[in-house]
Structure 1
Amino acid sequence: MNTKTGTISASLDKVKLVFSLILFAAGIVAFYHFDTYSALLRVLSLLAIAGISTALAYNTELGRGVWALVYDSRMEVRKIVWPTQEETTQTTIVVFVMVIV
C-alpha cells in the first residue's frame, strides 16, 4: 500500500510540474500576444503567473529539493571568508608580474 501511495504522489508531482511549465509558457505567450495593452499591465500579469507557476512547482518533491539546494548553497556562500581588497590587489599585482615575466 505504501508503494502505491508513493506512485500516486510521484504521478501527481509530474502533473503539477507539467502544468506549472504550461502555465508559465502560456504567460509568456500571453505577454507577447497582448502587446496592445499597457506594458505595466502585461508585466504585472506575467509576474503573477510566474509566481503562481513557481508556487505550484514548489509544492512538488523536486521543487522542495531544488529550494533546499538553493538555501544550502546560500548558506555555504555566507560561510566563505572573502579576501580583503588589499589581498585582492596584491594577488592581482603578483599575477600581472608573473604574466610579464
Structure 2
Amino acid sequence: MATSQVETVTTGADKAKLFAAVAIVLASVAGFYVLGKQGPLIQWGALVLGLVLAVVMFLTSEHGRQFMGFSRDAWREVKKVVWPTRKETLQMTGYVFAFVVLMALFLWLTDKTLEWVLYDLVLGWRK
C-alpha cells in the first residue's frame, strides 16, 4: 500500500511569520547587548521575552505546526523503545571493552610481526 505525501504550499502569511520570528530573535540578541548598562535583569528579561515571542511566532506558522507534529510522533516512538536493564548494559559494556583489548593485542602482534618480517628478514636491518 503506497502512501502519498501531501505538501502544503507555504503562504505569504507563513513566510511573514517566519521572517518575523527571525527578526525578533535578532532584535532580542541585539537588545541584550544594547541594554547592557540597564542591568542584568532587564538585559536578560529582554532576551528571554524576545526568544519566547519568536518561538510563539514560529509555532503559529505552518512550519511550526509541522515541527510540533513531528515532535509528537518522535516522542511517541521514543516511548516504544525497550531500554536495556542495568545488568544488560554492564554486560554489553564489558563485551565492548574485552573486544577492544583483543583487537589492540591483535593489531600490536600484527604490527610487530610485519615489522620483524620486513625489517629483519627482508631488509636485514637489525636494531
Coarse TM-score class (shorter-chain normalised): 0.7 to 0.9
Deviation beyond 6 Å, 4+ runs, structure 1? none
2-structure distance, mates of 1:74, 1:40:
35
User: What runs of 5+ residues in structure 2 fail to find an aligned partner?
Assistant: 1-7, 103-127
1-structure distance, mates of 2:83, 2:42:
42
User: What runs of 5+ residues in structure 1 fail to find an aligned partner?
Assistant: 1-5
> What TM-score comes out, normalization by structure 1 length?
0.85
The one-letter code sitting in structure 2 at the alignment partner of 1:78 is: K
SS of the residue corresponding to residue 34 of structure 1 reads helix
Say whether 1:27 aligns with 2:42.
no
Q: Looking at both structures, which has the greater relative contact order when contacts are Cα pairs under 8 Å and sequence separation is at least 6?
A: 1
2-structure distance, mates of 1:78, 1:37:
46
1-structure distance, mates of 2:72, 2:46:
27
Larger-Rg structure? 2
> What TM-score comes out, normalization by structure 2 length?
0.69
Please report the RMSD computed on the Cα atoms of aligned residues, expressed in angstroms.
1.7
How many residues get paired? 95
% identical equivalent positions: 28
